[in-house]
Structure 1
């Protein structure tokens, strides 16, 4: 997984038709969701004007982290990929944002970051990189421990119940033109057990054409995912000690799972 994202780091923004626009849009959507799910002590929506202490345990190149920080939230962020953290740090400097970045495994989130956060999050289908329920439960327990009592956990994932199973499944991302080069992006998925399994191998292909010379280069990054259902992930969130766990649709570009650390839990 680390090699996959280290190689992807300089190209990651090409996944989006307009990455900067996506940074802003995802930050706004997450901020609205946070304000709705965990309002102020008086029960009123705090709005973007009141900063939250947010921990992103799978920040990548900063797509969600940068958007929330730009809205005034105090964001701490980490990722397992050193190159993605390096790029995220660069993107934050370019935007004049003060974000504490570091390299860390989400399964050691509390060990690395400590507690007291208002919100802990892992977005854009990062958690299914963990291959077993035990690893996911370890990560969720660590994330829950990072929260202050009453704080909220936010996880966004693919809806694997709606994804077809099989092999040679092609997912198209389209073409992007940048600096005189055209990049064509697509993924190929191969599920285990002749296409019926719960795990799949993924190849992410970048076919790059130099528009001046028509020279073509192809790169492929490979990783593996656990196609866990949102129902099972919600069960693991409850087992990790979170309450009021549920799935929210329509608030983000993926289903969002939310849970709260009980207010009575000792710090």
Structure 2
């Protein structure tokens, strides 16, 4: 998993139409969800921060943010990108979300994992382990917020399924085109191999290089994720739609 993101790291911002605009938008959207469901919260732990999209966005909204990721390269880039955007107080570190409590300790107001990170964990036991770690990172009454791809609506069979990322991007005299290819396992179609192709064309000499990054996902449905969050100890677990670009799942650590 970390190898995929280490390789994606220099291109990560290119999968967004406008990364800085996405930072601002997602920060505002996540802040609105937090404020609507948990009042007067200040500290946020992001256990799958990538290059910092949500961590930087929430820091801009006034939260005190701690952020970690499994990818060493992405953490190094996040440490560089945050100060460029005026955010110098985010505490970044390398950590597997399945050891989040052992690494970060507890007493956070909010813990988040966005951008379809949870489905990189390929078994119910691994997902439950991560959710339990997130649970223990929270103070009583604290909130957990997870976003994943809407697998309830995705095609769950077949191979060579192509999913483009939208428009090509131009940067430093090069054109970049990104696309995904999915290959589902048979016969249960719960897991799929995932290849992200980043096609890089030098607009001056017309040389083309294709970067292929490989990973694997668990196409977990809403009902199962909600049940696993409940099994981890969260209460009032629900799915929210139309609040974010992906479905949002929230739950609260009980007060007692």
The residue that corresponds to 2:52 in the other structure is 62
Deviation (angstroms), 1:92: 1.0
The residue that corresponds to 1:176 in the other structure is 169
Deviation (angstroms), 1:142: 0.4
For residue 217 of structure 1, give the secondary structure of its aligned residue in structure 2. Answer: strand
Give the alignment's TM-score, normalised by structure 2. 0.97
Output the CA distance in 2 between the equivalents of 1:110 and 1:55. 11
Which aligned pairs between 1:1-267 and structure 2 lie closer than 5 A? 1-40=1-40, 52-97=42-87, 98-165=89-156, 166-174=158-166, 175-193=168-186, 196-264=188-256
Q: Which runs of 4+ in 1 moved over 3 A?
A: none
CA deviations over 1:119-174 (Å, ceiling 9, x no partner): 00000100000010000000000000000000000000011111112111000013
Output the CA distance in 2 between the equivalents of 1:121 and 1:149. 16
CA deviations over 1:32-83 (Å, ceiling 9, x no partner): 000001124xxxxxxxxxx610000000000100000011100000000000
CA deviations over 1:189-221 (Å, ceiling 9, x no partner): 000006x51000001001111111111111100
For residue 144 of structure 2, give the secondary structure of its aligned residue in structure 1. Answer: strand
CA deviations over 1:77-128 (Å, ceiling 9, x no partner): 0000000000011011212311000000000000000000000000010000
Count how many residue pairs are aligned between Structure 1 and Structure 2: 253
Provide structure 2 residue ranges, at least 5 long, that are not aligned to the other structure.
none
For residue 170 of structure 1, give the secondary structure of its aligned residue in structure 2. Answer: strand
91-100 or 140-149: which moved more? Answer: 91-100
Provide structure 1 residue ranges, at least 5 long, that are not aligned to the other structure.
41-50
Output the CA distance in 2 between the equivalents of 1:215 and 1:149. 56
Give the alignment's TM-score, normalised by structure 1. 0.93
Superposition RMSD on alpha carbons, in Å? Answer: 0.9
